[in-house]
Amino acid sequence: MDNGQKWIAFSTIVRREINRFMRIWPQTLVPPVITIVLYFVIFGKLIGSRIGEMSNLPYIQFVAPGLIMMSVITNSYSNVVSSFYGSKFQRNIEELLVSPTPNWIILLGYMVGGMSRGLGVGAMVTLLSLYFADFSLHSVPVTIGIVLMTSLMFSLAGLINAIFANSFDDISIIPTFVLTPLIYLGGVFYSIDLLGDFWGSVSLINPILYMVNAFRYGMVGITDINIVWSFIMVGIFSIVMFSVALHLLEKGSRLRS
Amino acid sequence: MTQPALAITQLTKIYDDGFEALKCIDLEVAPGDFFALLGPNGAGKSTTIGIICSLVRKTAGSVTIFGHDIDKDFSAAKQFVGVVPQDFNFNQFEKPLDILINQAGYYGIHRVEAERRAEKYLKQLGLWDKRDIASRTLSGGMKRRLMIARALIHEPKLLVLDEPTAGVDIELRRSMWSFLKEINAQGTTIILTTHYLEEAESLCRNVAIIDQGQIVKNTSIRELLTQLNKETFVLDSRDEVLQCPVVDGYVLSQVDGHSIEVVVEKSQSINELFAALTAQGIYIVSMRNKANRLEELFLDLVEQNLQEKANG
């Protein structure tokens, strides 16, 4: 395949992935938006007004970046895990496996598909959040950089989960028992200063903490941790995830007998 | 020198559970051939096809497609092959037109050209009217034709079909046969596995019979049929036959009141049999093979292979 053909293969996968989640928008786009609106109403407005300030910010401004990041993470992940596992389950992944499309193009295609949904839902949630809180972006490069890298990383994580999954149960175990607790404990709703030294230090092993804080810094200019360190962490995780996912595709793990 | 469409050398496949599905098989298919790969269930046919299209990882040996090794030159090798698998493996929620256009995209075919080809093959296979409905609503026969269209979208020089007419009614099967004959006449090499031996006899020029992971026969259909030593015919009589007739040298048995079964050796004449039956007042109005000729041979070869295995 020459580079032109590779580009066609890549754009075909991306287009197909976008068409998939657009076709089933009541399942893919509406629920996350409703969920996040409820978070804004309950935690931001109703409870948030009683909490007062967090890190010298009105509580709704403090939680908004975390809630946006939460929607980006869950949607990037769930798009790839459900699409790739669905293809495995129906065996139409074989359409790609018998073709000359290189594995790295397959990987990039699914990854960009997941990022499209994650970032798309993130954009919708951001627009909605403007109804509840006022923002002026503190740093555009940090905001865009970290949201892109986070979406990329969780799209790759979703693909790895899908490769290993043998049933639909397997694609809900990680989001339910790993991803959700990490998000909730990742500083979306509170500053780690509240946790004290021990639990604050324990929180530092949670990669989502770095993403949420970097994104919060980009939006409102406050963070619990060093921003450079956040980018390094997310960068390292993304490279590791990409390498693992590519290795699994090259090996044909759970895809070729 | 012309490269073979498919060259398999010392191909071995041992699955993770230790099952040896293929035992050092060698096979060559000439360009333009219509080739049958026959064998009982579990013989290794689908494993062989899986390796050719890279869905199954081989343990040892080599496979080249029009001279391109599937390991060293996988991109070129894959461009030459189209595969129609045994089971439906397309996205049941996508439309036939989208399935074909996407498949073309995976082969690097530009969208405009992909749309042209999709229209051509959907029309040829009678699916154009169904192009915009969810493919899960297609009938079984339509789904099979959709898989053939999908396999042809990148216009491969080698088309591999794994039991393409399984569960398809006779009328549709015949129309698929004429379509396959047509694309073979246009130069596409076709490899077919089937359980309908009539299909192989009608379509294919050459055949390999695989059993227990080994090729037990690899020859032309014509050559194979000359090895048939006896045939069993069913004769239908004009009048009711009250008692099974006896004819010297022939083994006859009565099927029902109007039908007799007879085994005719290669050295025997069927004219003599008719003369003897006429002399006994039995007038034959029609006759047919009890089983397909290739089927009789196939069963003999598989049985023979089993016995050889049992005898060590």
Over residues B270-290, the mean pLDDT reads 87
CATH (one of 3.30.365.10, 3.10.180.10, 3.40.50.261, 3.30.70.1560) for B230-294: 3.30.70.1560
CB spacing of A11 vs B105 below 8 angstroms: yes
Residue that has been written with the tokens 């031996």 in this structure: B197
Choose from A67-71, A157-161, B42-46, B210-214 the range with maximum mean pLDDT.
A157-161
Tens-place pLDDT, residues A194-236:
877 777 777 788 888 899 989 999 988 888 888 898 899 899 9
A24: nearest CA in chain B? B93
| Interatomic CA distance for residues B35 and B193, integer angstroms | 9
| Interatomic CA distance for residues A240 and A246, integer angstroms | 10
Could you give the percent of chain B with pLDDT greater than 90?
A: 49
Could you write out the three-class secondary structure of chain A?
CCHHHHHHHHHHHHHHHHHHHHHCHHHHCHHHHHHHHHHHHHHHHHCHHHHCEECCEEHHHHHHHHHHHHHHHHHHHHHHHHHHHHHHHHCCHHHHHCCCCCHHHHHHHHHHHHHHHHHHHHHHHHHHHHHHCCCCCCCHHHHHHHHHHHHHHHHHHHHHHHHHCCCCCHHHHHHHHHHHHHHHCCCCCCCHHHHHHHHHHHHCCCHHHHHHHHHHHHHHCCCCCCHHHHHHHHHHHHHHHHHHHHHHHHHCCCCCC
Instruction: Considering only the beta carbons, identify the residue of A8, A100, A256 that sits closest to B55.
Output: A256
Give A224's Cβ-side CA count (13 Å radius). 26
- The domain limits of chain B are 6-226, 230-294
Tokens describing residue B252: 């006859």
B contacts of A19 (beta carbons < 8 Å): 98
CATH superfamily of B6-226: P-loop containing nucleotide triphosphate hydrolases (3.40.50.300)
User: Which of B75, B78, B106 should one mutate to test binding to chain A, selecting the residue with the greatest count of A CBs within 10 A?
Assistant: B106
Over residues B132-142, the mean pLDDT reads 91
Could you give the percent of chain A with pLDDT greater than 70?
A: 100
Least confident of A42-51, A217-226, B29-38: A42-51
Q: What is the pLDDT of residue B303?
A: 73
Q: What is the pLDDT of residue B137?
A: 94
Asked if pLDDT for residue B213 goes beyond 70, the answer is yes
Q: How confident is the model at residue B291 (pLDDT cuts 50, 70, 90)?
A: low
| Interatomic CA distance for residues B131 and A149, integer angstroms | 39
Q: What is the pLDDT of residue B293?
A: 66
Q: How confident is the model at residue B1 (pLDDT cuts 50, 70, 90)?
A: low
| Interatomic CA distance for residues B167 and B188, integer angstroms | 25
Least confident of B17-21, B121-125, B301-305: B301-305
A contacts of B90 (beta carbons < 8 Å): 90, 92, 95
| Interatomic CA distance for residues B230 and B222, integer angstroms | 16
Over residues B91-116, the mean pLDDT reads 95
CB spacing of B108 vs A257 below 8 angstroms: no
| Interatomic CA distance for residues B108 and B104, integer angstroms | 7
